[in-house]
Amino acid sequence: MRKQTLIWLSVFLVLAVALSACGNATPAEPAAPASDASAPAEEKLSGTISVSGAFALYPMMTVWADEFSKIHPDVQFDVQGGGAGKGMTDTIAGAVDIGMISRAIKPEEESQGIFWVSVTKDAVFPIISSENPYAEQVLAKGISQEVFAGIYITGEITTWGQVIGDPSDTTPINIFTRSDASGAAEQWAKFGGGAAQEDLLGIGVNGEPSMVDTIIKDPLGIGYGNLNSIFDLSGGGLVPGIVIPPIDINEDGQANPDEIYTVKEDAFGAVANGTYPSPPARFENLATLDKPEGLELAFITWILTDGQQYLEEAGFVPLTPEQQAESLAKLK
């Protein structure tokens, strides 16, 4: 019997080893803590950087990690999602080196030693169905911040009539919000004058893909979503079935050309030059425990300089030169 157990055990082990051998594994470098990395000279960086946090930044971080590893092949990355909350917790606890935080850092977190820089901008946009009977009028007039607040926070606005200025029309608005913990929701709440995601009214939908699907299917619905859910990133146009009701930023009762976004570049531009209000535009931040040094510093610096070129393709807005300089100055 012992021999048979041994045979089976070795079969398992051999399979496991064989599988890993044919895998596309990066060079077997044991996980060395980033702060003990080798000399910060430009060329020979090595070590492992572990990252966790906001799902919004996750795809971007994997691109950055990949590109950085191409330049510095001895550097490896462990990137996880888990949400901004997890990123913050992990960073404070020292479980990861860098946290991806898709919101502003709170003072209590800073007092626990958190250091942060902004690395990119993205934005939340309102969405309605392209089959919405009021779409034309809304696209012409825009919706002011006050009305959005009335829909989502105070609950005073409940009919489409109120939105377009015809109180006799009592067609109800089907208001949708996010039920899962979401940075986008938090931004939208702040835009409406609320404090947190929980202040948002509406039927909860779980996850961004579901939100977009729900709006496409419901002509009377209104919702919100991130840039990269709303625009088809390869084509540059809107995802079929939804339109963005313009936010009447200058409050003139009309939708001006710089408030209307039908292609990705328009939206990008508005967020980048600050025309689009913040919130719901926001800075995405990376957080570390105390000022970063060595490998982490090199990586974050790279993100703020060469790394910015990969952002647009992914649906994120690159920092303006001033914002870049600001972040870089912080790191010194």
Partner 1 sequence: MNEIELTQVKVEGRLSRPSTPSRTRTDRTARRAFFVITLLPILLILIITIALFVRAMPILSAYSLTDLLFGEVWRPNNGQFGFRPFILGTLWVTAVGVFLAVPPCLLASIYLAEYAHARTRAIAKPILDLLAAIPPVVYGVWGLLAIVPFVDDVLAPLSERWLGSTIPIFSVTQPTGFGILAGGIVLAVMISPLIISVIFEVFATVPNDLRYASLGLGTTQWQTIRTVVLPQVTPGIIAAIVLGASRALGETIAVLMVVGNVPKTPTSVFDTAYPLPALIANNYGEMMSIPLYDAALLGAALVLLVVILIFNILSTLVLQRFLRRK
Partner 2 sequence: MSIKKKHFERRHLVEFLMKTIMRIALVIVAGALGLILWTIITRGLPSLSWSMVTQIPKGGYYMGKEGGILNAIIGSAYLASGGTLLAILLSLPIALYLKAYLGDSKWGDYVRLALDVLWGIPSIVYGAFGFALMIMLGMRASLLAGIIALALVTLPIMTRAMDEVIRRMPVDLEHAALALGSTKFEVAIQVVTRQMLPGIITGILLAFGRGIGDAASVLFTAGYTDRIPTSLMNPTASLPLAVFFQLGSPYPEVRERGYAAALILTIIVLIVSLGSRLLASRLNKYTVK
Question: Which residue number, 198 or 265, has a Cβ lying nearer to partner 1?
Answer: 198
Q: Please state, in angstroms and rounded to a whole number, the distance separating the CA atoms of residues 69 and 65.
A: 6
Tally Cβ neighbours within 10 Å of residue 153.
Answer: 18
256 binds partner 1 (CB under 8 A): no
Which residue of 109, 186, 199, 208 would you call a contact of partner 2, by CB under 8 A? 208
200 binds partner 1 (CB under 8 A): no
6 binds, among partner 1, partner 2, none (CB under 5 to 8 A by kind): none
229 binds partner 2 (CB under 8 A): yes
250 binds partner 2 (CB under 8 A): no
Q: In terms of C-beta distances under 8 Å and separation of at least 24 residues, what long-range contacts does 154-163 make, across chains too?
A: 155/201, 160/133, 160/134, 160/220, 163/134, 163/138
**Residue 213, class by beta-carbon neighbours within 10 Å (0-12 exposed, 13-18 middle, 19+ buried)?**
middle
| Helix or strand run (H / E) with residue 224 | strand 221-226
179 binds partner 1 (CB under 8 A): yes
Residue 223 dihedral angles phi and psi, to the nearest 5°: -155, -165
Using CA atoms, how far residue 70 sits from 33, 64, 77, 141, 296, in Å, is: 20, 10, 12, 49, 16
Which residue of 6, 10, 14, 15 would you call a contact of partner 2, by CB under 8 A? 15
140 binds, among partner 1, partner 2, none (CB under 5 to 8 A by kind): none
Strands 47-53 and 75-82: parallel
Positions 31 through 90 that interact with partner 1 (CB under 8 A):
81-83, 85-86, 88-89
The least CB distance from residue 302 to partner 2, in Å, is 14
Tally Cβ neighbours within 10 Å of residue 94.
Answer: 10
| Helices (H) then strands (E): counts for the chain | 14, 9
Q: Please state, in angstroms and rounded to a whole number, the distance separating the CA atoms of residues 21 and 11.
A: 15
The least CB distance from residue 92 to partner 1, in Å, is 8
248 binds, among partner 2, partner 1, none (CB under 5 to 8 A by kind): none
4 binds partner 2 (CB under 8 A): yes
Tally Cβ neighbours within 10 Å of residue 40.
Answer: 12
153 binds, among partner 2, partner 1, none (CB under 5 to 8 A by kind): none
| Residue numbers at the binding site for partner 1 (CB under 8 A) | 81-83, 85-86, 88-89, 93, 174, 179-181, 196, 198, 203-206, 210, 214, 217-218, 221
| Residue numbers at the binding site for partner 2 (CB under 8 A) | 1-2, 4, 8-9, 12, 15-16, 19-20, 22-26, 28-31, 50, 55, 58-59, 62-67, 76-81, 95, 207-209, 212, 225-226, 228-229, 233, 313-314
